[in-house]
Amino acid sequence: MKEKLKQFKANFLNFGIPKYRLQKSKNKARKKYKELNGDDNITILSPNCIGGEIYNLLGLKFNSPLINSSMKRVDFIDFCLNLDEYLKIKPKVLSMKKGHPILTLESPKLKRIDINFIHDDNQDTVINNWEKRKKRIIKDKIYVIMDNKDEHGNSIDEKIIKKIEEFNSKKKIIFVTHNNKLKDGYEIGEKQIKRYNFKKISGLYGFQYFFDYVDFLTKK
């Protein structure tokens, strides 16, 4: 029953009013992005699908290897802080999760990182896309979007999250539930943080209701 409901929602979102609303939202965002002289060549790094979703909404090229993927937030921080070193590693797919490849970056000098490509089912495609897109990273135009939740839905210690501030990027935003003391923190509450990168029944992504991603990418 759960799978049938999931499939029904997926089918519903791809037709009619939800699809129209999403397209209308795309057109509006792209127009605003152009009016604000938004850069067509930027890199968005995020530990979940929000980066790829924003690229898609704005019609921009995927200048990030983390498209359609999910990873632990602590691993994401390590990945960013050691970006050049991790990008030198030859990626491998050592396991699958529910039919989706887990790309592994492993080196004697670095912590092992596993990245779940949750919208892909072909190992070669995942590795090829990784190698292709990592070369597109624009080091002086990196935008970081993340949250403070671990894989079990619990809040991560603020001292750990604060480490991302050491990463040199053009701009950062960290979605948090409450008690925000982070330099780049943005409070969205417990309910929103659980599914902000998922599509709602309206056809729009959760983050589109509270996060002006065009302003984030264009304004200082």
Consecutive H or E run containing 55: helix 50-58
Q: Residue 1: its pLDDT value, please?
A: 55
Q: How far apart are CA 73 and CA 78, in angstroms?
A: 9
Residue 12 predicted with pLDDT over 70: no
Give the integer Cα–Cα distance in Å for 31 and 26.
8
From CA 213, how far away is CA 109, in angstroms rounded?
Answer: 36
Between the ranges 86-90, 119-123, 148-152, where is the mean pLDDT highest? Answer: 86-90
> In sequence order, what are the residues at sequence separation of 6 or more whose Cβ sits closer than 8 angstroms to the Cβ of residue 163?
77, 81
Q: Mean pLDDT lowest for which of 1-10, 34-43, 139-148, 207-216?
A: 1-10
Domain containing residue 72:
2-218
pLDDT above 70 (res 166): yes
What pTM value is reported for the model?
Answer: 0.91
Q: How many structural domains compose the chain?
A: 1
Helix (H) or strand (E) holding 93: strand 92-97
Give how far the C-alpha of residue 205 lies from the chain's centroid of Cα atoms, to the nearest Å.
13
Smallest Cα–Cα separation from 196: which of 182, 184, 186, 211? 211
Q: Which of 4-18, 81-95, 138-152, 164-178 has the lowest mean pLDDT?
A: 4-18
- Please give the residue that has the higher pLDDT: either 61 or 14: 61
Q: Is residue 7 predicted with pLDDT exceeding 90? A: no
Residue, of 177 and 18, whose pLDDT is higher: 177
d(CA 129, CA 140): 22
pLDDT value of position 186: 94
Q: What is the pLDDT of residue 178?
A: 79
Using the CB atoms, write b or e for 89-116: b if 16+ within 10 Å.
eebebeeeeeebbbbebeeeeeeebbbb
- Is pLDDT of 81 > 80? yes
* 169-195 mean pLDDT: 90
d(CA 137, CA 64): 6
CA distance 195 to 32: 25
CB count, 10 Å around CB of 170? 16
- What pLDDT, on the 0 to 100 scale, is given for residue 175? 96
